[in-house]
Structure 1
Amino acid sequence: MDITKLTPSKHGSEIHHNTCFGCGKENPLGLGADFTFDDESGEVRFIYNFRKFYNGAPTFVHGGILSTLLDESMGDLCFHLGFIVMTDTMSFKFHKATPVEKDLLVRAWPVRRAKRKVFLECELSSTDGSILYVKGEGVFHILPPRFFSEKLTGEKNSVAFDLLSVNKLNRAHLFDRISS
C-alpha cells in the first residue's frame, strides 16, 4: 500500500480491536472513549462524559476508572505519533473529586523521548479548563512492531503497519518541540 495516500489517524479505534476496553465500539462494559488526536495542538484532546456506572463514591468517578482513561489517553497519543507502546510507569494527582455525567476535557501530550521510552503528561479538567480534576504523567516503553502485529491488532492487522508509518511520517515534527 502507498502510505503517502493514507491519512494519519484521528481516533483510537482506527487501530485497536473492537473489544478494547478504552475505545472498542463493541465493548458494552468499556469506556467507549474517542481518543481524538488534535493536529493543531499535537495532543490527544476530547470531551468525555463518565457514565453513572463508573461511580466510586456516589456521583463521583472511581479513581481506577480515571486512571484507566488517562493511561489509555497517553497510550493512544503514542499510537497517533507512530509508536506501539506498553505502560512502564504512571502517576496521578487527584485534585478534586470528578463528577459523573458531566462533560469533561481530556488531554495528553508528549514531553520527551529517550531511547525506547516516551514520556507524557495528561490531565482531566472542566471543558473550559477552569477546574483541574486530575493531572498525571506516564512513561511508555516502545515495543517492536512485530509484537503489535502478532498480539494486538486482531482484525486490523492489515492496516496497522501502514497507519503507524503514516502517523510517524506526518507527526515526526512534534518531537522537535520536545527534548530528545
Structure 2
Amino acid sequence: MNSPIENPSRHGYEIHHDTCFGCGKENPLGLVADFTFHDETGEVNFTYNFKKLYNGAPGFVHGGILSTMLDEAMGGLCFHLGYIVMTDTMSFKFHKATPVETELLIRAWPIKKAKRKVLLECELTSLNGEILYVKGEGAFHILPPRFFSEKLTGGKIAIANELLSVNKLKRAHLFDRIET
C-alpha cells in the first residue's frame, strides 16, 4: 500500500468531523471525548469528567448521556479497527449512579467480528476500576464503502479512507485473540 499514512489512528477526532457530538472539538454542547485507542490492549480506553451540564438527578450523570458516551466509545473503537459502522443494538446495565465532576475511566473492547457486524463490550468505572457504574454491549452493522461520504467525515474523506485501511491492516490481528 503506497499511502502517506503509515500509523493507525489513536484518537476519534482523526476520522470524525469537527462538530461530532461525541468527539468534535468544535461542538460547544458536545462531549468532546477523546476515544483513545491503545494498541497494547486492543481497546478504546480514556478518562473523562462529565460536566455538571450533563446532570440527570442533581450531582449524577443523565442515563441518556451515559448511553451516548458508551455508544460513541464502541463506535469509535470500530473506526480504530478499520470499519465504518452504524449502531445496530445496544444494552446497558446501570450498576450505580454515576457522579458528575469526577474523573472516570471509559473502556470499550471487541468481542467478535461476524460477517457484517462487530460485537463489542464497554464499561464505565472509577479510575482504579473498583467501582463499576455502567456495563454494556453493542452490535454494530458494518457499512459498505459507498456509505462513507463527506457527510460522515466532514471533509476528511481522503485521509479517513486511508486511515481506515491502515487501521484494518495493522489491527486485523486483534480479532485473532478473540472468537470470530
- Please give the range of the TM-score, normalised by the shorter of the 2 chains: over 0.9
Residues 1:120 and 2:120 aligned together: yes
Moved runs in structure 1, 4+ residues, more than 4 A? none
Stretches of structure 1 that go unaligned for 5 or more consecutive residues are none
Deviation by residue 1:64-117 (Cα, 9 ceiling, x = unmatched): 000000000000000000000000000000000000000000000000011100
Instruction: Please list, as runs of the form range in 1=range in 2, the aligned pairs for 1:1-180 lying within 5 A after superposition.
Output: 2-3=2-3, 5-180=5-180
User: Would you say the 8 A contact 2:49–2:102 is kept in 1?
Assistant: yes
Determine the C-alpha separation between the residues in 2 that align with 1:122 and 1:108: 4
SS class of match (1:57) = coil
CA distance in 2, matches of 1:50, 1:148: 31
- Shift, 1:149, TM fit: 2.4
- Verify the 8 A CA contact 1:121 1:138 in the aligned structure 2: yes
Q: Which amino acid aligns with 2:109?
A: W
Q: Cα RMSD (Å) of the superposition?
A: 1.1
Q: Work out whether residues 110 and 118 of structure 1, in 8 Å CA contact, stay in contact via their aligned partners in 2.
A: yes
Which SS does the other structure have where 1:67 is aligned?
Answer: helix
The change in CA–CA distance for 1:71 and 1:173 in structure 2 (over 3 A counts) is same
Q: Which amino acid aligns with 2:164?
A: L
Aligned length: 180
Q: TM-score, normalised by structure 2?
A: 0.97
**C-alpha deviation, 1:123, in angstroms:** 0.0
Unaligned runs of 5+ in 2: none
- What is the CA–CA distance in structure 1 between the aligned matches of 2:24 and 2:4, rounded to whole Å? 27
SS of corresponding position for 1:179: coil
Q: Name the SS for the 2:120 alignment partner.
A: strand
* Contact 1:112–1:179 (CA under 8 A) maintained in structure 2: yes
Residues 3 and 165, structure 1, Cα contact 8 Å, conserved in 2: no
Note the alpha carbon deviations across 1:36-73, whole angstroms, 9 max, x for none.
00110000000000000000000000000000000000
Q: What's the CA shift string for 1:18-46, capped at 9, x where partnerless?
A: 00000000000000000000110000000
How far apart, CA to CA, are the structure 1 residues paired with 2:112 and 2:153? Answer: 26
Rounded to whole Å, the distance in 2 between the matches of 1:150 and 1:76 is: 18
Conserved? CA contact 1:92–1:134, under 8 Å: yes
- What's the secondary structure of 1:168's corresponding residue? helix
1:90/1:138 contact within 8 Å kept = yes
Contact 1:12-1:76 at 8 Å conserved across structures: yes
Q: Secondary structure at the match of 1:155?
A: coil
Following TM superposition, by how much is the alpha carbon of 1:151 offset from its aligned partner in structure 2, in angstroms? 3.1
What's the TM-score once normalised by structure 1's chain length?
0.97
Contact 1:108-1:120 within 8 A present in 2 as well: yes
**Equivalent residue letter for 2:148:** F
- Cα offset for 1:150? 4.6
The CA deviation at 1:7 is 1.1
